[in-house]
Structure 1
Amino acid sequence: MARLLTYNVHSFIGTDRKRDPRRIEHVIRESGARVVALQEVRWSARHEGAHALQTLARDLKMDFRFQRTATFAGEQFGLAILSDLPMRLVKGGPLPRLGPALPERRSALWVEVETAQGTLQVICTHLAVLSRRDRMAQAEALLGPDWLGGAEGPAVLMGDLNAGMRAPAYKRLAAALACARSDLPDRHPTFPSWMPLTRIDHIMGANGARLENAHALRTALTRVASDHLPFVAELAPPH
């Protein structure tokens, strides 16, 4: 089974306020994930003279695709999908925005990955944090023909939805998709990492994609590497 991981990496800045992409690298490597969806990725670290995302993918021996959502101080910021499996970019683009323009444009990134179970459509996203109306509009768009509604074959939606399990946007997506859940009573909260109270990071399956063994990764390292915990699930073989 291919393990999937979604992780808001907070520009590689940990809860100790130190910027260290190597900690994220260690978390991903230890997770055993083959397909990784990242949010709040900072493309470059000029003071290090290297592209942090490119270095991360290289050291993990993974390919990557990136979708810019904003530019801050000359550095790009956005979404990324990494995998050591064959991967093809399908599309990337913005999601609806009903409120005033903000520096970051909420977006999604779609790739096609070849797994041992067959072709998997993977969509990574990060929904609006301030506006419930925007989150709902973005959820509807992700279910529509431009995104999941246009995906042929098994698909997964991965990302930081900024919506707990009682939020309207989560309920709308969970009503149409198969949300990865734990078999244990613990709902595996992911935020904030040092004292997680709610799960806003989710993996959901569509078009027959079945997910198993879902849980947050709560270790000494994940509690400090970002302000979110990573959330993993395994893609189960088709019936």
Structure 2
Amino acid sequence: MIRLGVQTFINYIWKKEVTFKVPMFLDKMNAKKIIVPLLLIFLCRTDGILAQEAPLTIKVLSYNIHYGVGMDGKKDLKRIAGVINTINPDIVGLQEVKDSTMMAALGQLTNMHNVFGASTEKEMPNLYRLLDIPVPDSQLHYGDGILSKYPFDYVGNVSIPSASSSRYEAMCINVDLSKKSSEKIMVRFITTHFDYLNTIGSQMARNAAVEVIEAAFITKDSYKAYIMTGDLNATPESEVLNVLEHKGWQKGDFDEELPTVPSNAPRKQIDYVLVRPKERWKVIDVRVIDEPMASDHLPILMTLELIPGD
């Protein structure tokens, strides 16, 4: 409406008789030559203001890729990448990534920034800790990964409790969404994979994992908008989802369960995209993507609007 009003006014001044008075040293044509550029400058500045007020919307995907092995038993990273490219998310949290080589390949296939977070080492897992030296990339395997259209700073990863023989972790980045906005906007993004057993011990481990993530990555003074994706190995009515809700995490105001496993006949939801605090996010849509072959899990997609805040 502003654009139309200004343009109409410019046309009127240019084509019609000008009824306002101009200084004696300016004739009518010179007055038009001065006024019209000024109005164009105003129009450009108005467009900038309108652009700043537009809501920032992002699409976030959580996907357990089962090391690239599909329900047909075939390992096919191109198939996984094809699923992601078709969905076209802004940020992706991946679980069950084999190693940094697989993560780098997915980054190349999707043309997205990427980082790998390992859960365990291949050989002599305690030796590097005893010697207090970094674990070589060649020794890191099994973990999670993050893909992002936008640049980010890697915060790190942390081991989380497990009651099974498997080891799990959570990883975190600070992603810069400035390319989607006229202002610098940083969001803290976490992805994780919780213990899988249906035992009291694993239930306690999942609850404890929430506390580890809270202590490691939730810094209330620095970052005020958070997203977490993950295979939580827990259904919506489970205790760990209640624990997460009490911490401020929300999955949107949607009552229906969105089954994600098994991918060829999904019966229960164990994969999630969560956000906090509620005041900073409007959950526009949450859906499961119908891709029954590429992995044993279905990807889950959340479309979000970031609400301006301090």
Task: State whether TM-score is above 0.5.
Answer: yes
CA distance in 1, matches of 2:140, 2:237: 35
Alignment partner, residue 111 of structure 1: 173
Alignment partner, residue 78 of structure 1: 143
Alignment partner, residue 237 of structure 1: 306
One-letter code aligned to 2:190: I
Judged with a 3 Å threshold, the aligned counterparts in structure 2 of structure 1 residues 34 and 187 are, in CA distance, closer, same or farther, namely same
Structure 2: stretches of 5+ with no match in the other structure: 1-56, 124-138
Q: Is the contact between residue 189 and residue 199 of structure 1 (CA under 8 Å) also seen in structure 2?
A: yes
Q: Is the contact between residue 190 and residue 200 of structure 1 (CA under 8 Å) also seen in structure 2?
A: yes
Judged with a 3 Å threshold, the aligned counterparts in structure 2 of structure 1 residues 176 and 212 are, in CA distance, closer, same or farther, namely farther
CA distance in 2, matches of 1:210, 1:139: 23
CA distance in 2, matches of 1:86, 1:96: 30
TM value normalised by structure 1:
0.86
In the TM superposition, what whole-angstrom CA distance separates every residue of 1:104-143 from its partner, at most 9, and x where no partner exists? 321100001112352110000001112111111112222x
Alignment partner, residue 63 of structure 1: 113
CA distance in 2, matches of 1:141, 1:75: 21
Cα drift, residue 75 of structure 1: 7.1
Alignment partner, residue 7 of structure 1: 63
Matches within 5 A, 1:180-199: 180-181=251-252, 183=254, 186-199=256-269
One-letter code aligned to 1:114: D
Matches within 5 A, 1:1-239: 1-43=57-99, 51-71=101-121, 76-97=141-162, 99=163, 102=165, 104-115=166-177, 116=180, 118-130=185-197, 131-142=202-213, 144-150=214-220, 152-181=223-252, 183=254, 186-207=256-277, 208-218=280-290, 222-239=291-308
Cα drift, residue 34 of structure 1: 1.0
Q: Is the contact between residue 15 and residue 226 of structure 1 (CA under 8 Å) also seen in structure 2?
A: yes
Q: Indicate the percent of aligned positions where both proteins have the same amino acid.
A: 26
In the TM superposition, what whole-angstrom CA distance separates every residue of 1:171-216 from its partner, at most 9, and x where no partner exists? 2112333433475x64221111111111110111113233321111
Whose strand fraction is larger, Structure 1's or Structure 2's? Answer: 1
One-letter code aligned to 2:93: A
Q: Is the contact between residue 63 and residue 300 of structure 2 (CA under 8 Å) also seen in structure 1?
A: yes
In the TM superposition, what whole-angstrom CA distance separates every residue of 1:65-92 from its partner, at most 9, and x where no partner exists? 1111134697721100011101110121
Whose helix fraction is larger, Structure 1's or Structure 2's? Answer: 2
Computed over aligned residues only, the root mean square deviation of the Cα atoms, in angstroms, reads 2.1
Greater Rg, structure 1 or structure 2? 2
Q: Is the contact between residue 97 and residue 142 of structure 2 (CA under 8 Å) also seen in structure 1?
A: yes
**Secondary structure in 2 aligned to 1:25?**
helix
Moved over 4 A (4+): 71-75
Structure 1: stretches of 5+ with no match in the other structure: 45-50
CA distance in 2, matches of 1:155, 1:6: 15
Alignment partner, residue 39 of structure 2: none
Aligned residue pair count: 225
CA distance in 1, matches of 2:116, 2:295: 19
CA distance in 2, matches of 1:188, 1:236: 21
CA distance in 1, matches of 2:240, 2:86: 31
**Secondary structure in 1 aligned to 2:215?**
coil
TM value normalised by structure 2:
0.68
**Worse overlay, 64-73 or 156-165:** 64-73
